[in-house]
């Protein structure tokens, strides 16, 4: 039940090939040749941010893509860069520039990456929020020998884009959510009336019914919750479950509350349940997957979801800064602490310089967990790599605790590093190292190169 936090990667060329029947609708006229004079662009119905005065960046890119961009003279916003997340409206038109093949609609949070835009990538990099554009490319360059039904050899296809400002995009998102919230509210009230259900409504517009009250605590933000669930649509169609063997994953599901790991409706719903509680959650579409359901799912765009859930357990993560408190007290250790939260004890002073960022550090080490179990060493035969270990300091080649710890030592020094989990392998763990495990390393800085 992981949430689609932004739209699935947009590979427009793959969308195009998938179209079988063109939809004819004369929406706008697209240019077929470079524009020399002033051309008025089509205004959008949502915002006036895309009324433009002239065409700029009209050129042929080396890939064969012709780019026409309409741009406000006073638009000072930066052009899109690799890795930016942009909001677009995209349409595909045929050779005549009037027959619309597909309307991809409003696409919010699309990462600017070559694999998402294919032929259009270089053109997208020439756009700034507030711009409109037409990208024209030959069908032969776009499709090669795999020509889709709507295209012919020797013709062109034309993509129309509007790149929204953040303000305009947010306005569209808010308008869409408001519209769906009204529709969903009506559907849910009809469903409740037909099934004689009296639910509790949250401030966000979600409903729930407690079917079995638990006697534990209510989870807090950041707590790991362990849950069982079964999901269905309003018409009763089951789409997922971790208690029904038909869905092939019968084990408790875990996630951190209010950290965007699941749909918003789950974060809201489980925030109202105590440990041991069973409940039914009624999740409006835009607190679930809105119009971007998971690919291959039985969930359709704008579907309301119903979940039968149980809050099995709550795991409260230990503050990394306190992971060594008990260990130090029991073993009478007085360690120094760095601003980052690393603890260390110098067991043998060195005589050389301290390493600088980028220098190669040669080290010996033995690592163990708090219970004393060793998990790695380049000093002991059982780990099968008895030779000094080298790494470049401060280049993220090792865990953060090592970069911090070895910067404190001079050549020849020996020390014990006490590394909290957030400066080691965190919640993922690594091999024999469990998730959220603090680590202890006995180390020696043998040389600096």
Question: 50-54, 102-106, 125-129, 312-316: which range is least confident on average?
Answer: 50-54
> Would you state the pLDDT for residue 321?
83
Of 131, 376, 403, 442, the catalytic one is: 376
Q: Is residue 423 part of a domain?
A: yes
Q: At 92, list the tokens.
A: 């595909």
Q: What is the mean pLDDT of residues 329-336?
A: 95
Among the candidates 315, 337, 362, a domain finishes at: 315
Q: Is residue 7 part of a domain?
A: no
Q: What is the mean pLDDT of residues 364-382?
A: 94
Q: What is the mean pLDDT of residues 86-107?
A: 84
Q: Is residue 421 part of a domain?
A: yes
> Would you state the pLDDT for residue 272?
97
Which structural domain range is residue 411 located in? 320-448
Q: What is the mean pLDDT of residues 203-222?
A: 94
Q: What is the mean pLDDT of residues 160-179?
A: 85
Q: What is the mean pLDDT of residues 85-104?
A: 85
Of 267, 441, 442, 448, the catalytic one is: 441
270 catalytic? Reply is no
Closest to 49 (Cα-Cα) out of 134, 172, 164: 164
Closest to 311 (Cα-Cα) out of 333, 282, 286, 280: 280
Greater confidence (292 vs 232) lies with 232
96 catalytic? Reply is no
> Would you state the pLDDT for residue 441?
97
Same domain, 441 and 336: yes
Q: Strands 253-256 and 305-315: what pairing?
A: unpaired
Same domain, 206 and 277: yes
Same domain, 112 and 143: yes
List b or e across 191-216, with b for residues whose CB sees 16 or more CB atoms inside 10 angstroms. beeeeeeebeebeebbbbeeeeebee
Q: At 147, list the tokens.
A: 């020509």
Of 425, 440, 442, 448, the catalytic one is: 425
Same domain, 40 and 151: yes
Query: Predicted confidence band at 59 (pLDDT cuts at 50, 70, 90)?
Result: low
Query: Predicted confidence band at 17 (pLDDT cuts at 50, 70, 90)?
Result: very low
Name the maximum alpha-carbon separation found in the chain. 82
Q: Strands 389-392 and 336-337: what pairing?
A: unpaired
Q: Is residue 17 part of a domain?
A: yes
pLDDT in tens, 247-263: 999 999 998 899 888 99
> Would you state the pLDDT for residue 319?
78
Of 365, 389, 406, 418, the catalytic one is: 365
**Backbone region of residue 204 per phi and psi (left: phi > 0; alpha: psi in -120 to 50; beta: other values):** alpha
What is the Cα–Cα distance from 399 to 383, expressed in whole angstroms? 19
> Would you state the pLDDT for residue 236?
96
Check if the beta carbon of residue 37 is closer than 8 Å to that of residue 105: no
Judged against a pLDDT cut of 90, whether residue 265 lies above it is answered with yes
365 catalytic? Reply is yes
Among the candidates 164, 180, 204, a domain finishes at: 164
> Would you state the pLDDT for residue 438?
94
**Highest mean pLDDT: which of 150-154, 162-166, 172-176, 237-241?**
237-241
Residue tagged 């517009």 (tokens):
205
Q: What is the mean pLDDT of residues 301-307?
A: 94
Q: Is residue 3 part of a domain?
A: no
What is the Cα–Cα distance from 273 to 65, expressed in whole angstroms? 55
> Would you state the pLDDT for residue 31?
34
> Would you state the pLDDT for residue 160?
87
Q: Is residue 119 part of a domain?
A: yes
Same domain, 40 and 140: yes
Q: Is residue 331 part of a domain?
A: yes
Q: What is the mean pLDDT of residues 205-217?
A: 95
> Would you state the pLDDT for residue 209?
98
Same domain, 238 and 158: no
What is the Cα–Cα distance from 344 to 351, expressed in whole angstroms? 18
**Highest mean pLDDT: which of 111-125, 294-308, 368-382?**
368-382
Cβ neighbours of residue 393 under 8 Å, at least 6 residues apart? Answer: 355, 356, 357, 358, 359, 360, 361, 403, 406, 407
Check if the beta carbon of residue 194 is closer than 8 Å to that of residue 291: no
Judged against a pLDDT cut of 50, whether residue 12 lies above it is answered with no
Same domain, 110 and 84: yes
Provide the sign of the torsion angle of the four alpha carbons 175, 180, 183, 188, taken in this order.
Answer: negative
106 catalytic? Reply is no
Judged against a pLDDT cut of 80, whether residue 99 lies above it is answered with yes
48 catalytic? Reply is no
Concatenate the DSSP letters of all residues of 302-354 into one string: T--EEEEEEEEEEE-PPPGGGTTHHHHHHHT---EE-TTS-EEEEEE--SSPP
Q: What is the mean pLDDT of residues 97-101?
A: 82
Q: Is residue 105 part of a domain?
A: yes
Same domain, 179 and 270: yes
Q: What is the mean pLDDT of residues 12-34?
A: 33
Query: Predicted confidence band at 338 (pLDDT cuts at 50, 70, 90)?
Result: very high
Check if the beta carbon of residue 46 is closer than 8 Å to that of residue 175: yes
391 catalytic? Reply is no
> Would you state the pLDDT for residue 19?
34
Cβ neighbours of residue 153 under 8 Å, at least 6 residues apart? Answer: 139, 140, 147
> Would you state the pLDDT for residue 73?
66
Domain count, the chain: 3
Same domain, 334 and 423: yes
Question: 67-76, 321-330, 368-377: which range is least confident on average?
Answer: 67-76
The helix (H) or strand (E) run that includes residue 226 is strand 224-233
Mean confidence (pLDDT) of the chain = 83
- Does the pTM of the predicted model rise above 0.75? no
Of 399, 419, 433, 440, the catalytic one is: 399
Same domain, 26 and 134: yes
What is the Cα–Cα distance from 167 to 47, expressed in whole angstroms? 10
Give the whole-number percent of the chain exceeding pLDDT 90: 45
Concatenate the DSSP letters of all residues of 38-99 into one string: --PPPPPSS-GGG---EEEEEEE-TTS-EEEEEE-TT--PPPP-TT-EEEEEEEEE-TTSSB
Q: What is the mean pLDDT of residues 406-416?
A: 96
Same domain, 53 and 76: yes
> Would you state the pLDDT for residue 349?
93
Among the candidates 291, 315, 339, a domain finishes at: 315
Check if the beta carbon of residue 127 is closer than 8 Å to that of residue 69: yes
Of 143, 375, 383, 391, the catalytic one is: 375
Q: What is the mean pLDDT of residues 357-375?
A: 94
What CATH number does residue 350 fall under?
A: 3.10.50.40
> Would you state the pLDDT for residue 56?
55
Query: Predicted confidence band at 58 (pLDDT cuts at 50, 70, 90)?
Result: low
Same domain, 230 and 367: no
């Amino acid at each position: 039940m992981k949430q689609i936090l932004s739209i699935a990667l947009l590979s427009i060329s793959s969308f195009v090939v998938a179209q079988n029947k063109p939809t004819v609708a004369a929406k706008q006229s697209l240019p077929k040749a470079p524009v020399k004079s002033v051309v008025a662009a089509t205004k959008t119905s949502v915002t006036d941010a895309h009324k433009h005065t002239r065409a700029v960046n009209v050129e042929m890119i080396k890939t064969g893509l012709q780019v026409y961009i309409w741009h406000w003279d006073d638009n000072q916003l930066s052009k899109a860069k690799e890795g930016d997340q942009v909001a677009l409206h995209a349409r595909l038109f045929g050779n005549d520039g009037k027959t619309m093949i597909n309307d991809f609609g409003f696409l919010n949070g699309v990462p600017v990456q070559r694999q998402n835009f294919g032929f259009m990538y270089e053109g997208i990099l020439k756009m700034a929020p507030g711009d409109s554009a037409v990208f024209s490319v030959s069908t032969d360059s776009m499709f090669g020998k795999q020509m889709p039904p709507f295209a012919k050899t020797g013709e062109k296809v034309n993509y129309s884009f509007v790149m929204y400002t953040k303000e305009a995009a947010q306005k569209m998102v808010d308008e869409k959510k408001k519209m769906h919230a009204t529709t969903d509210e009506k559907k849910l009230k009809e469903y409740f009336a037909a099934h004689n259900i009296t639910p509790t409504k949250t401030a966000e517009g979600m409903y729930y019914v407690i079917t079995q009250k638990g006697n534990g605590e209510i989870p807090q933000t950041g707590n790991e919750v362990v849950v069982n669930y079964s999901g269905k649509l309003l018409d009763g169609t089951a789409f997922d479950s971790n208690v029904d063997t038909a869905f092939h994953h019968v084990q408790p599901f875990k996630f951190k509350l209010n950290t965007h790991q699941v749909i918003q409706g789950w974060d809201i719903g489980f925030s109202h349940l105590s440990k041991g509680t069973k409940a039914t959650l009624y999740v409006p579409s835009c607190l679930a997957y809105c119009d971007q359901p998971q690919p291959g799912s039985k969930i359709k765009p704008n579907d309301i979801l119903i979940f039968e859930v149980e809050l099995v357990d709550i795991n409260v993560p230990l503050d990394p800064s306190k992971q060594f408190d008990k260990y130090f007290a029991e073993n009478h250790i007085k360690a120094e602490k760095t601003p980052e939260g690393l603890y260390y004890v110098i067991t043998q002073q060195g005589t050389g310089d301290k390493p600088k960022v980028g220098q190669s550090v040669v080290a010996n080490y033995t690592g163990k967990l708090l219970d004393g179990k060793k998990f790695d060493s380049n000093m002991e035969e059982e780990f099968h790599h008895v030779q000094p270990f080298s790494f470049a300091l401060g280049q993220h080649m090792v865990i953060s605790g090592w970069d911090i710890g070895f910067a404190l030592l001079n050549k020849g020094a020996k020390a014990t590093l006490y590394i909290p989990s957030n400066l080691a392998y965190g919640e993922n763990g690594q091999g024999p190292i469990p998730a959220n495990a603090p680590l202890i390393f006995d180390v020696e800085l043998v040389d600096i190169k």
